[in-house]
Amino acid sequence: MSNVRALFYDAVMIPAGWLGLDRVRRRLVEGLSGRVLEVGVGTGLLPYPPTVSSAVAIDIDSQLLASARLRHPGVTLLQADVQQLPFPDASFDAVVACLVFCTVEDPARGLAELHRVLRPGGQLRLLEHVRSPHPTVACIQDRLTPAWSHLAMGCQLNRDTIPLVEASGFRITHRTQRLRELLEELVAVPV
């Protein structure tokens, strides 16, 4: 079966990787160790460092997952919804998500699930594009979002993810803002 969605996704994201996203992805996973869950794996463009002893990755989209299987042969890949994870409480040392919560229907519910499956002292690593703190830019994001989300698999350009992370029981320990505060790299721990 041809996998049009995965081909389209890679056609956009691989060049974005060459332009700098690959560097940010590598930094996102640097030093991760133990049993790691990646949510929203997509086509598998996030590399896992050798310190990761076991990795499980999920995505809601079976076509993208089929492509991720080719890139991550040693990883357990499952079709699952981050809003209802099929894992016991406290079963991961770390959870990582790259550009995912902009498309999750109920991000607060997804983040609550990540909180549930992370062990105490575990780490959440997130890379997200977010709603701009600058009103003019945020207004442009609001205008563009309806059309953009049709083109980009439901992506909400104007999603205000950081307050949701804090409201879901995480304490942010490291935060780096990039691209004029449109891109956030976070490390957070469950409290």
Ligand X SMILES: C[S@@+](CC[C@H](N)C(=O)[O-])C[C@H]1O[C@@H](n2cnc3c(N)ncnc32)[C@H](O)[C@@H]1O
User: Which residue's CB is nearer to ligand X, number 42 or number 122?
Assistant: 42
CB 126 to ligand X: min, Å: 11
Q: What's the CA dihedral at 25, 28, 30, 31 to 10 degrees? A: -150
Per CB under 6 A, the segment of 34-42, 49-57, 118-126, 161-169 that binds ligand X is 34-42
CB 136 to ligand X: min, Å: 25
Which stretches within 20-169 are classed as H helix? 22-29, 62-71, 107-117, 135-151, 161-167
Cβ neighbours of residue 57 under 8 Å, at least 6 residues apart? 37, 38, 39, 41, 44, 68, 72, 75, 76, 77, 78
Number of residues engaging ligand X in binding (CB under 6 A)? 20
- Binding track, positions 41-80, relative to ligand X; x by CB under 6 A: xx--xx-----------xxxx--x----------------
- Binding track, positions 83-112, relative to ligand X; x by CB under 6 A: x--------------xxx--xx--------
Q: What is the DSSP letter of 78?
A: E
The residues binding ligand X (CB under 6 A) are 13, 39-42, 45-46, 58-61, 64, 81-83, 98-100, 103-104
